[in-house]
Amino acid sequence: MILLADSGASKTDWACVSRENDEKYLFTSQGYNPNYITGDQIVADLQACMPAGFPVDRVQEIYFYGAGVTPLQYPFMEQTLLRVFTKATKVFIAMDTLASCRALLGTKPGFAAILGTGANSCLYDGRNEGLNIDSCGFILGDEGSGANIGKRLITDYIRHNMPENVYKLVGEKLGKNNDELLDQIYTRPFPNRFCAQYARFVQDNFDTDPYFPELVKEGFRMFFDKVVTHYPDYKSYKFNAVGSVAFFHRRYLEEVCAEYGMEVGVLMRAPMEGLIKYHIENPDV
């Protein structure tokens, strides 16, 4: 059995599949960014999330793609996963950008992005991730992501930098005063997840006031200004992306791509189905 994992900032999607038949097991756990979680926490959460009857001892190959999983973290993730899947003989660890490439493009070269809770992007040569302009994560970057949309919404609210009707609506949704919001973001765990949860609220209010769609479009413009336009000859590629922000905000993403002279290609809400197809068809990667 092959075990695939796509681990983002908020959650990890898992699929255990067979190359011989249609046997498949799917489940979800929390996100396993190794910069914010311990090995013991991963093992405990993973064991709690696996469905009854999951074939732990039949897992022979593991392909784990994760946000924040730099090469420095590869040994940690491999050792942690082998604590659970002790019979596995192959463990492949990579950044989540490679998952997006393989799901979106298969074996074709091109440009791939992630626009979900976090953001990232890279060029792809058809097999491996190539040039990557670092998103710099939640604190320094992640422009265009759900966390960045939520962060800018909260910042505008604290500064009262929004129309009065929007200010009242946002205040009712946040349910916290300025000091409580700052405390939540600066002292509590996972501030990126806290901010990202409000991206859906922004989406639900696109027709309420122009402030909301403009917030999203400006996030996409920031992503282009700070990241996409720095790829050599970026206009020669199609803009392919995975993630809920890209998928649900396609209308505004297409507008911004057109502003920057880039055509939209494939947009997926999540990469797992594409990853399954890739690994079934390419057993030697």
In this structure, the strands spanning 24-30 and 11-17 are antiparallel
Q: Where are the domains of the chain?
A: 2-99+272-281
Nearest-CA neighbor of 101 among 233, 278, 244?
A: 278
Task: Provide CATH code, domain 2-99+272-281.
Answer: 3.30.420.40
- With H, G, I as helix, E, B as strand and everything else as coil, classify residue 33: coil
The answer, yes or no, to whether residue 283 has pLDDT greater than 80, is: no
Angle at 121 between CA 115 and CA 122, to 5 degrees: 155
The pLDDT of residue 207: 93
Q: Which two tokens stand for residue 164?
A: 């009065």
The answer, yes or no, to whether residue 185 has pLDDT greater than 80, is: yes
Half-sphere exposure at residue 155, Cβ-oriented, CA atoms within 13 angstroms: 8
Give 269 or 136, the one with higher predicted confidence.
Answer: 269
Q: What is the pLDDT of residues 214-237, one digit of tens each?
A: 999 999 999 999 999 999 999 999
**146 with 116: CB under 8 angstroms?**
yes
Whole-angstrom distance, CA of residue 151 vs CA of residue 146: 8
**238 with 244: CB under 8 angstroms?**
no
What would the mean pLDDT of 108-137 be, rounded to a whole number? 90
28 strand-pairing partners: 13
- 251: exposed, middle or buried (Cβ count in 10 Å: 0-12, 13-18, 19+): exposed
DSSP 51: P
In this prediction the pTM is 0.81
Whole-angstrom distance, CA of residue 33 vs CA of residue 69: 7
The answer, yes or no, to whether residue 253 has pLDDT greater than 80, is: yes
Which band of pLDDT confidence, cut at 50, 70 and 90, is reported for residue 128? Answer: confident
Q: What is the pLDDT of residues 42-53, one digit of tens each?
A: 999 999 999 988
Contacts of 73 (CB under 8 A, 6+ apart): 34, 35, 93
Which band of pLDDT confidence, cut at 50, 70 and 90, is reported for residue 285? Answer: confident
